[in-house]
Structure formats: structure tokens, C-alpha cells
Amino acid sequence: MLAFLDIHDWSVGIDFSGAPDLSSRWLGYTASHARQGGPDASADIVAEVELVPGWINKEHRKGEEESSTDRIALSTPVIRGELHRTEAGYRGRIKAKGDDIETLDGIASLLLAILAEEKGQIVLHSSAVAKDGLAWMFVGDGGAGKTTIAVELNGGRTPLSVDRTLVAFEEDGTAIAHSTPFGDRNKDLPGPGQAKIAGIFFIEQADVHQVLPVSPWDATRLLLAQTIAPTRAQATVQKVMDAVGKLVDLDCCHRLRFRKDDGFWPLIDEALAK
């Protein structure tokens, strides 16, 4: 079975014919972004995926994988693969440890990040909500509260994404948050969307609500730590750095300490108005 996720102006294809039950469940919750197609369907990147529970990539040696403009090598303890540029886009194969939806989420977001790197955009571990054409992004590790803010504490704003967000830049430098379906199982999100980024918040659960300033240096460090950057080619690394720099230059990054109610929104509005 071939599934295609249409996000922003790009199409990401995954061939996971070896796991039909799992792929059907995954397609079910990505339905707002997904379509099915045959082997000749158009896509910017397509990978044939083999899922193997318990497998470990014993060939992995950190830092040894090499990529170029025509070939992308992927190697982690739980993933091994290779993609080649063709006239139709990137094509290749990936072997991964796992047999669950989270594994497919990770592979799909990895492929999206490869496209983003090439085009000078980034995929961030973040949730995002939108209202009146503006987006607020909440960046953090797993368990930090990204989904909780987007779904339960959004203050009447619309969830765009709950775990990973594509950030793309328009020709005039405007930064746009694009929704993705990753991690939105049973969250009943409204579907694809995009909005201009108004603020970026590095989140931490606490006993009080606080919005605190963050230096450009710390903002750069924290954004890089949460950017999905799958390749090591010098050209793409520079593009990722440039994209993070553009976000920092917007001067809209803050720390958010919050407890589990939506009382932090007035503090966010106040911080962004300064």
C-alpha cells in the first residue's frame, strides 16, 4: 500500500505494504492530510519501509554516514536507509525498528524534514495553535505539555499540530507554521492549516504562569535542539542554521512556565505586544 501525505506544497510517500493493518490505522488518523495512490503517483519523496520489531542497526557508527546532493544516507541505532535523487524526486528504502504507529510517524516526519532541509525550511518538535491568521508555537521535549496546550489549554484557538510543526518561509521572509498530523491520534484536529508565526515559546510545567525573556543565543540553542535534522551534508546543515537564525531574528521567542490551566494567555499577549 502506498500512502501520501500532502503537507504545505510537498507530498511525502510511504510504501509500507508489509504492514497492511498498521498502515490502515495510521492512514485513518492522518486522513485529513493523506491520500492513497499507485506506484506511479506523483510525490517529492517516496520510501519503501520495512518494519522489524526488535531489530538493531549494528552497522551504525555515529558520524560515519555521508550524504550528497544526489544521495542521502540515514543511519541511527534504529533506522538504516538510503535515498537517491531521481527526476521524479527522492526515492529509496528504509529499515526501522518497530511495529507501531509511532514508528511510522517518525519515518514520515523524517522524510518531511529531508524535504524541508533541502528547501531551507525546518520541522520542529512543537505544537501550534492559530487564530485570526496568527500562530503560536510551543516547543519542547516529549511530555513537556505540547499536546496539552494545543488541545486542552488553547484558549479558544485552533490546534494546527500537536507534536511536530513545519516552519516554512515565504519570499518576503514571513515565517509560516504548517500543520502536520504526527501524534494527533484521537485528538480530532480540524485538518491542514497554516498561519503566520506570532510567537515561539519554550515550555516548562510549573506551579505558576510565567512568560520570561530568552536571549538570542539560548533561543538558537533551544530551537536547534528541537529541529529534526536527518542529514549531515554541509550544505543542508547550513540551511538549517540559516532557518533557525531567521526565526530568532523575528524576536518572538520566550520561555513559558505554566500550570495546567489556560491562564497564561494574557501573559503571552502582553509579552508579544512589547
CB 12 within 8 A of CB 113: no
- What are the two backbone dihedrals, phi and then psi, of residue 135, each rounded to the nearest 5 degrees? -125, 145
pTM comes to 0.92
Domain boundaries, the chain: 2-118, 122-273
Least confident of 26-35, 193-202, 211-220, 264-273: 26-35
CATH no. of 122-273: 3.90.228.20
Question: Does 64 have pLDDT greater than 60?
Answer: no
The three-point CA angle 102-188-261 to 5° equals 95
Q: Taking Cα atoms as reference points, which of 161, 160, 151 lies closest to residue 133? A: 160
Distance of alpha carbon 18 from alpha carbon 51, whole angstroms? 8
233-260 pLDDT per residue, tens: 777 889 999 999 999 999 999 999 999 9
Distance of alpha carbon 188 from alpha carbon 78, whole angstroms? 30
Q: What is the pLDDT of residue 192?
A: 65
At 79, is the secondary structure helix, strand, or coil? strand
